[in-house]
Homo-oligomer: A and B are copies of this chain.
Amino acid sequence: MHVFDQAIALSARGEGTYSGATSPAYGNMVGPFGGVTAATVLKAVLQHPALLGEPVALTVNFAAALADGAFTVHARPVRTNRSTQHWLMEITQPGPDGTESTVLTATAVTAARRETWGTDDAPMPAVLSPEAVGRPNMAALVEWVRRYDIRIAEGAIPTAWDGSGDASRSTLWVRDEPARMLDFCNLTAMADVFFPRVWLRRATRVPAGTVSMTVYFHAGSVQLAGTGTGTGWLLGQAQAQGFRNGFFDQTAQVWNEAGALLATTHQVVYYKE
Contact = CB atoms under 8 A, between A and B. Distances in A.
A201 B119 contact: yes
A84 interface: yes
Interface stretch (A23-31, A100-108, A183-191): A100-108
Contacts of A57: 61, 211-212, 268
A244 B117 CA distance: 7
Contact of A241 (B63, B105, B120): B120
Interface string A116-138: 11111110000000000000000
Most chain B CB within 10 A, of A102, A111, A244, is at A244
A115 to B, nearest CB: 7
B261 A117 contact: no
A251 B239 CA distance: 13
Interface string A74-87: 00001101001010
Given A56-B268, A57-B211, A63-B79, A105 B121 contact: no
A240 B167 CA distance: 23
A122 B86 contact: no
B88 A105 contact: yes
Given A64-B79, A109-B61, A211 B56 contact: yes
Question: Looking at chain A, what size class is its interface with the partner chain?
Answer: 35 or more
A168 interface: yes
A203 to B, nearest CB: 12
A202 interface: yes
A216 interface: yes
A199 to B, nearest CB: 12
Contact of A63 (B86, B90, B202, B266): B86
Contacts of A81: 63-64
A249 B261 CA distance: 11
A116 to B, nearest CB: 5
Contacts of A270: 84, 111
A273 interface: yes
13 contacts: A56-B211, A78-B105, A79-B102, A79-B105, A84-B270, A86-B105, A111-B246, A118-B243, A119-B201, A216-B266, A218-B244, A218-B247, A241-B264
A-B complex: 5 closest residue pairs judged by Cβ atoms = A113-B245, A122-B241, A63-B79, A118-B244, A63-B86
